[in-house]
């Protein structure tokens, strides 16, 4: 998919790279937003089964709510 080493990319390859980059930015911003809650980026020692999954879902849900409200 990539051009030759040090060579120019074709217009199609540039467009594919642009599309990939745009989707990567959305994903990276979402992960960064979830990490801001510190609950998913710090080791959490719990004894409740499946609590870490619930914690991640809650953090993701809060970030989705926050990002949706930004456009209002």
Mean pLDDT by 10 residues, the chain (72 residues): 72 94 89 81 79 85 85 66
pLDDT at 2: 55
Residue 10 is given by DSSP the state: P
In 3D space, the residue among 61, 53, 64, 72 whose CA is nearest the CA of residue 29 turns out to be 64
Tell me, what's the pLDDT at 1? 53
Structure tokens at 41: 């980026």
């Amino acid at each position: 998919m990539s051009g030759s080493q040090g060579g120019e990319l074709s217009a199609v390859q540039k467009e594919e790279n642009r599309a990939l980059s745009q989707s990567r930015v959305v994903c990276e911003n979402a992960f960064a937003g979830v990490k801001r809650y510190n609950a998913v980026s710090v080791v959490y020692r719990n004894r409740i089964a499946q609590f870490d999954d619930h914690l991640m879902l809650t953090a993701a849900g809060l970030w989705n709510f926050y990002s949706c409200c930004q456009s209002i």
